[in-house]
Amino acid sequence: MKEIKIALVKGDGSGPEMMEVACKIAIKAAKKDGIEIIFEETPMGWNAYSNFGDTLPVTSFWRAVELGTIFFGGVGDPKFDDSIGAEIPEMKPEARCLLALRKRMELLLNFRPMIYYKVLDHLANVKSETIPNSGIEQVFIRFLLEDSYFGNTDLINEISKDIREKLGIKLKQDVTGNEKMITEMAYYKKKTIEKYFRAAFAYARAKSLPLISIDKANVMARYDFWRKICTRIGREEFPDVQLVHQLVDSANALLFTPAKLHGVIACGNEHGDILSDGAAAALGSMGMMCSSAINPDTGAAMFESGAGTAPTLAGQNKANPLGRILTGAMMLRHIGATNGADAIEKAVRMVLINGFRTADLAQGNEQPDAILGTKEIGENALLSLEYKSRIQV
């Protein structure tokens, strides 16, 4: 067996419960490809603060960066945001941990495949007749660097104090609410955008899907830049890939007729954050969302289901772990455990087809066969890993 070490952030809220089952399943599935995953815990988030006085302990950060592959359970909990976070805002872990890792590891590409499960149709916010019989393939590739997320932090040192004060350019944690004006800078670099589009077009070509590029080029300079680079790369290097430009506001409306967004969806950091949650909710449930963030040059990667930490369910064995489990499948594919990844995806379908649900998936008119807890859903998925079904799932 080939050993692969992966940094594990169990995270906050229901994160640790969900990650426990997701890790067990990933370990078992990877064995199908002769890979022994060794998880090494690198604590981050409010749980880490309780033990180490920092939501991003320096040893955790550097060890995770060094290992280069991170399985991330999600950080953040409003309870702590309102107490410790109110006193020491820079400790809030969403920005402190996630943005620092994305930046340090240069995680340019955020893959968020939207998966439609017919058995979860009662949860979808689209009419089932809008889903073609052939299904939907909708893969978001969100541009995960620069943009407004990193504008102020990256550019602040290049601007003199006087100008900063005049324009209200501040780091997020220094905002008091009494400023006359706040300026949030957003930027795109030609080199980064070109690299991004080359990867997105290549992915669309490999999948034989159109590339749907989202922007707001009718008003904003950075999206005009985005569209011009996208068009040029498409025309010169990927003339065989169908390219569609879609303004972000109309793209948002199209989430409810998903056949019109069948393809690889290229979008900026902020647009992608917003649209991907909407797309997941339109097709089913946020709890099912899976997500990976990749550096296409080094292969460094972080696997973090885009769904939250379900803090209100923490410690109750109630949160839906399927998004984490599916994110584990993306991780396995990345480390070359393709059979394991396929097996996990199939196992999740089996769990759903067998009528097992966590409470969030059972809402509506559907009568599930059983409402199960986090652990029990995980055990079912683990059993299904070995199940050789002739039914097409």
Residues in contact with ligand IPM by CB under 6 A are 94, 98, 273, 306
Q: How far is the CB of 277 from Mg ion (least distance, A)?
A: 5
Residue 98, binding choice from Mg ion, ligand IPM, none, Cβ under 5 to 8 Å by partner class: ligand IPM
The residue (of 263 and 323) whose beta carbon lies closer to ligand IPM is: 323
* Least spacing, CB of residue 94 vs ligand IPM, in Å: 4
Beta pairing partners, 70: 7, 302
Q: Which amino acid is at 283?
A: L
Cβ 306 to ligand IPM, closest distance in Å? Answer: 5
Distance of closest approach, residue 292 Cβ to Mg ion, in angstroms: 14
Residue corresponding to tokens 């006087």: 162
| Cβ 285 vs Cβ 115: under 8 Å | no
Classify the C-alpha dihedral 331-335-337-338 as positive or negative: positive
The least distance separating Mg ion from the CB of residue 273, rounded to whole angstroms, comes to 4
| Residue showing tokens 């220094």 | 174
Q: Half-sphere exposure of 372 toward its Cβ, with a 13 Å CA cutoff?
A: 18
Using CB positions, name the residue nearest to ligand IPM: 94
CA angle 26, 32, 38 (to 5 degrees): 45
DSSP three-state, residue 21: helix
Between 94 and 194, whose beta carbon lies closer to ligand IPM? 94
**Considering the complex, what minimum distance in angstroms separates the CB of residue 289 from ligand IPM?**
9
CB-wise, 146 or 273, nearer to ligand IPM? 273
> Smaller CB distance to ligand IPM: residue 11 or 378?
11
Footprint of Mg ion (CB under 5 A):
273
- Neighbouring C-alpha atoms within 13 Å toward the C-beta of 272: 30
347 binds, among ligand IPM, Mg ion, none (CB under 5 to 8 A by kind): none
Least distance from C-beta 382 to ligand IPM, angstroms? 27
**Contact present, 297 and 330 (Cβ < 8 Å):** no
Closest by alpha carbon to 107, among 116, 97, 117, 115?
97
Q: Are 294 and 301 within 8 A, CB to CB?
A: yes
Smallest distance, Mg ion to C-beta of residue 276, A:
7
Say which DSSP state 137 is in: -
- What lies within 8 Å, CB to CB, of 159 at 6+ separation is 167, 169
* 237, interface contact from ligand IPM, Mg ion, none, CB < 5-8 Å by kind: none
- The residue written with tokens 């991907």 in the block is 276
Strands 301-304, 292-294: pairing is antiparallel
Cα–Cα distance for residue pair 60/65, rounded to 1 Å: 9
CB neighbourhood size of 87 (10 A): 7
DSSP string, 93-122: HIIIIIIHHHHHTT--EEEEEE---GGGGG
**Shortest distance (Å) from residue 55 CB to ligand IPM:** 12
Identify which of residues 41 and 94 has a Cβ nearer to ligand IPM in the complex.
94
